Amino acid sequence: MEKIMQWVRSVLTTTPGYWQSLSEKLPVELMSQPPAPGQWSALECLQHLIDTERIFQFRLQCLLEGKDFPAFDPNKQGTKLSTQPSAPELAAEFARLRSESLQALSRIQVNELDRKARHQELGIVTLGEMAHEWAGHDLNHTIQAERAIMQPFIRGCGPWQNFFSDHLVRADK
């Protein structure tokens, strides 16, 4: 389990720098484009990571204290990007929150990963399971954001489009 926690920390440490780089180097118009109607753009993925970073911090505390915690529905409880801060400001906020999370995680001992609490929808979960989910969540939304950013390039690459069939997002999906 100690090796997994090293991997978790590696993923959680890497993600903010990735988002800072994207937000500084890519045009906001590209980061704002959803891959298809009703799907999240890269910036919406980043906003979701900010929202859920706060949720993960709360859940971490609940698990350490053995307190039950509610589910989170990003479609109902997440922040909407109507009057959005700039992409670099969003990335900086995510980096700040993640730094706090990493400090809290650094105090977790391997024997604490078995601590349990009840998730409103999932039932009993452990701190170790949540750590796995946290890293997987980062990677999931990184892939989702990259897929959104890829769409204009895939659609415009003509005969090479077939090489991107796994990543092409169709509006009818």
- Token reading at 133: 């989910």
Question: pLDDT exceeding 70 applies to what percent of the chain?
Answer: 91
The domains of the chain are located at 2-164
pLDDT given at position 37: 92
Task: Report the mean per-residue pLDDT for the chain.
Answer: 91
Q: What mean pLDDT do residues 125-132 have? A: 95
Residue 74 has pLDDT above 80, yes or no: no
Residue 79 has pLDDT above 80, yes or no: no
- Asked if 138 contacts 12 with a C-beta cutoff of 8 angstroms, the reply is yes
Q: What mean pLDDT do residues 101-124 have? A: 93
Q: Residue 126: in which H helix or E strand, if any?
A: strand 123-126
- Asked if 108 contacts 127 with a C-beta cutoff of 8 angstroms, the reply is yes
Q: What is the CATH number of domain 2-164?
A: 1.20.120.450
Q: Residue 118: in which H helix or E strand, if any?
A: strand 116-119
pLDDT given at position 9: 95
pLDDT given at position 173: 47
